[in-house]
Amino acid sequence: MLEYPVDNFDELREIAADVRIFIDAAADKAAALRDVIAAYDVVLAIFPSEDGIGVHVIKGRHILDRIAKSHTHALYTHTAIAVPDLRHAETLKQLTQQPDIAIAA
């Protein structure tokens, strides 16, 4: 399920808890969620799974692919959002994807 190594699941859980607090405190929770996703280069959805924790890339797969292929480190911002299951993670990704914009020359 996860194609990229994650060294610290506890860190992801803590980040997701902070995101949850931020969204819960917002008057417009949908806008707060959109703001969180827009603010980071990489956004991971985490959820309970048979293996303990599941991870699904919501945003920034191209960044993770580039790092994995080059075997180097790169600076990027990241966050995590807790969801109930993989289906919710996939739905969140679909709802928040930026459409490809074609620009005529």
As beta bridge partners, residue 49 has 52
Residue 1 inside a domain? The answer is no
Residue 23 inside a domain? The answer is yes
The pLDDT tens digits for 14-66 are 999 999 999 999 999 999 999 999 999 999 999 998 878 889 999 999 888 88
**pTM listed for this prediction:** 0.81
d(CA 105, CA 98): 21
Provide the domain count of the chain: 1
34: domain range? 9-96
Q: 45 — phi, psi (to 5°)?
A: -95, 135
| Kind of pairing between the strands at 42-49 and 78-82 | parallel
Residue 101 inside a domain? The answer is no
One-letter amino acid for residue 41 of the chain: D
| Kind of pairing between the strands at 78-82 and 52-59 | unpaired
Give pLDDT, residue 2: 46
Unique residue bearing structure tokens 């949850």: 20
